[in-house]
């Protein structure tokens, strides 16, 4: 593949209480909406979405998401959409709900609207979903078109637990680190071509914004207030990271994250972003980055209460054999670790996992950090 490819959603709207303008923004897309949200999110945001749709004269069919982005769940919801003759699918909530909405939309051939209630991942803007089966990574699914509309209500996001924002920052921090590797390797991105200059600029800007405003934004959500720092970081977590990873590419950090899914135990209680944070440190170790550069990320993650050691990701009891299984999964054929600009083996990844853990332990000892 020698062509460059850049893809993006049709429209992105972000601001306080923008959820109450859903109908206004959705009206050009159709007449009947299938609104998907889990039980908790209906009370937080989805009922407001339906009210706004009704005010704009759009019929709504409400569906409760059952919690797993599986093919069975997609088929179940798509059947409801077909029987209701919907022409808009609206996903409201977290990553699994939004991934399911995109997959349902692909089945129905309608327009999809994505309304995240947290800034915890960069999934909202992309034309792909991660299918899971009983919580473990199954496969990426690529769709024919990007979401038509993304609505991001920063007031809603400011009310979510701070962990969600820090997890989103961790996911977004991987964007430039992975895109940089893909660019160097001239590897193919999730968009299906080489990275564009636009994707490179967006991925680099994403990291810049996070280092500049990440801590202020994290403190903002602890007080449940919307600040300019929070607005900037929500955009970085959602739009910049979403465009950056999809058109800039994934590499080692997300491959490590996917590798972790082969293990049992408490690691599965961690968020996507928490696991990506450690995966990012593993990629930096694989790349032989200077210690000062690695420590910059470790320090930033510690300030955001993110995991930086094997103990932090609940793997203090994991055997070398277990960690080798992670490394094997992270380097299986087709995995994004092979987008790094050098050959990567399971042995290399195992060494990098242990190195990243040791670098973080040494840094914690150096600054007197208490767990």
Domain ranges of the chain: 12-158, 162-367
Quick one: CATH architecture of 12-158? 3-Layer(aba) Sandwich (3.40)
Across the strands, what pairs with 136? 133
Cα gap 339→41, rounded to integer Å: 37
Beta bridge partners of 115: 92
Sign of CA dihedral 42, 45, 47, 50: negative
* pLDDT higher than threshold 70 for residue 358: yes
What local confidence, expressed as pLDDT, does residue 368 receive?
87
The Cα 130–Cα 70 span in angstroms is 9
Whether the pLDDT of residue 13 is over 90: the answer is: yes
Question: For residue 353, what pLDDT is reported?
Answer: 98
Residues recognised as catalytic = 171, 254, 257, 272
In a 3-state reduction of DSSP, which class is residue 153? Answer: strand
pLDDT confidence tier of residue 227, bands split at 50, 70 and 90: very high
Token representation of residue 236:
């970085």
Rounded to an integer, the average pLDDT of 347-367 is 97
pLDDT at 58 over 80: yes
151: β partners: 13
CA-closest candidate to residue 172, choices 261, 250, 94, 286? 250
- Residues in CB range of 301: below 8 A, 6 or more apart: 170, 173, 277, 281, 307, 308
369 pLDDT tier (thresholds 50, 70, 90): confident
Average pLDDT over residues 47-55: 97
- In the block, residue with structure tokens 């092979």: 338
The arithmetic mean of pLDDT across residues 310-334, rounded, is 97
**pLDDT tier at 70 (50, 70, 90 boundaries)?**
confident
Question: Residue 209: phi, psi to the nearest 5?
Answer: -65, -40
Residue 318 backbone dihedrals phi, psi, to 5 degrees: -65, 135
* pLDDT reported for residue 371: 63
Residue 90 pairs in a beta bridge with: 35, 113
State the DSSP string of 84-125.
Answer: TT-SEEEEEESHHHHHHHHHHHHHHT-EEEEEESS-S-S-TT
pLDDT confidence of residue 138: 57
Confidence of residue 5 (pLDDT cuts 50, 70, 90): very high
* 332: CB partners within 8 A, 6+ apart: none
Average pLDDT, rounded, for the chain? 94
Evaluate if residue 7 carries a pLDDT over 90: yes
pLDDT at residue 1 is higher than 70: no
Mean pLDDT of 70-87: 92
Cβ atoms of residues 268 and 135 within 8 Å: yes
State how far the Cα of 278 lies from the Cα of 276, in Å rounded to an integer: 5
**Token pair belonging to 201:** 């600029």
How does residue 193 score in pLDDT terms, banded at 50, 70 and 90?
very high
Task: For residue 2, count other CB atoms closer than 10 A to its CB.
Answer: 6
pLDDT given for residue 139 in this prediction: 64
Fold classification of 162-367 (topology level): Dehydroquinate synthase-like, alpha domain (1.20.1090)
**% of the chain surpassing 90 pLDDT:** 88
DSSP for residue 301: H
In the block, tokens 């990243």 appear at: 356
Q: Is the pLDDT of residue 177 over 60?
A: yes
Query: Both ends of the chain: CA-CA distance in Å?
Result: 47
Q: 3-state class of 194 per DSSP? A: strand
Q: Looking at residues 257-263, what average pLDDT do you find?
A: 95
- As to burial, measured by CB atoms within 10 angstroms (0-12 exposed, 13-18 middle, 19+ buried), residue 171 is buried
Quick check: 187 pLDDT over 60? yes
Q: Are strands 88-93 and 32-37 parallel, antiparallel or unpaired?
A: parallel
101-160 residue pLDDT tens = 999 999 999 999 999 999 998 888 988 776 555 555 556 778 888 999 999 999 999 999
Q: How far apart are CA 90 and CA 369, in angstroms?
A: 44
The pTM for the full model equals: 0.94
| Stretch 72-79: mean pLDDT | 92
Cα–Cα separations (whole angstroms), residue 149 to 44, 50, 85, 111, 331: 20, 16, 20, 8, 35
CB of 127 within 8 A of CB of 104? Answer: no
| Helices (H) then strands (E): counts for the chain | 15, 8
């Amino acid at each position: 593949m020698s062509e460059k490819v850049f893809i993006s959603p049709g429209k992105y709207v972000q601001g306080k209480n923008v959820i109450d303008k859903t109908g206004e923004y959705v009206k050009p897309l159709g007449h009947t909406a299938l609104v998907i949200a889990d039980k908790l999110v209906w009370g937080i945001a989805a009922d407001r979405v339906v009210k706004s749709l009704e005010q704009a004269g759009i019929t709504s069919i409400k569906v409760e998401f059952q919690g797993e982005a599986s093919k069975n769940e997609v088929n179940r919801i798509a059947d409801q959409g077909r029987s209701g003759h919907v022409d808009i699918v609206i996903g409201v909530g977290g990553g699994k709900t939004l991934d399911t909405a995109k997959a349902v939309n692909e089945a129905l051939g309608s327009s999809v609207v994505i309304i995240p209630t947290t800034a915890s991942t960069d999934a909202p803007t992309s034309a792909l979903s991660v299918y899971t089966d009983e919580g473990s990574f199954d496969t990426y699914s690529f769709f024919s078109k990007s979401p038509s509309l993304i609505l991001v209500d920063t007031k809603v996001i400011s009310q979510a637990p701070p962990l969600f924002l820090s997890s989103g920052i961790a996911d977004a921090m991987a964007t430039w680190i992975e895109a940089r590797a893909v660019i160097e390797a001239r590897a193919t991105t999730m968009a299906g071509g080489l990275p564009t200059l636009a994707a490179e600029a967006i991925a680099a800007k994403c990291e810049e914004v996070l280092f500049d405003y990440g801590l202020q934004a994290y403190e903002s959500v602890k007080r449940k207030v919307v600040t300019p720092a929070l607005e900037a970081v929500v955009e970085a977590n959602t739009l910049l990271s979403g465009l950056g990873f999809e058109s800039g590419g994934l590499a080692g950090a997300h491959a490590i994250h996917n590798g972790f899914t082969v293990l049992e135990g408490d690691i599965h209680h961690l968020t996507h972003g928490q696991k990506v944070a450690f995966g990012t440190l593993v990629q930096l170790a694989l790349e032989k980055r200077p210690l000062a550069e690695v420590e910059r990320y470790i320090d930033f993650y510690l300030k955001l209460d993110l995991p930086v050691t094997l103990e932090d990701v609940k793997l203090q009891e994991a055997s070398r054999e277990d960690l080798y299984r992670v490394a094997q999964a992270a380097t299986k054929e087709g995995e994004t670790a092979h987008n790094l600009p050098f050959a990567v083996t399971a042995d290399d990844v195992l060494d990098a996992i242990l190195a990243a853990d040791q670098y973080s332990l040494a840094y914690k000892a150096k600054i007197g950090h208490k767990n």
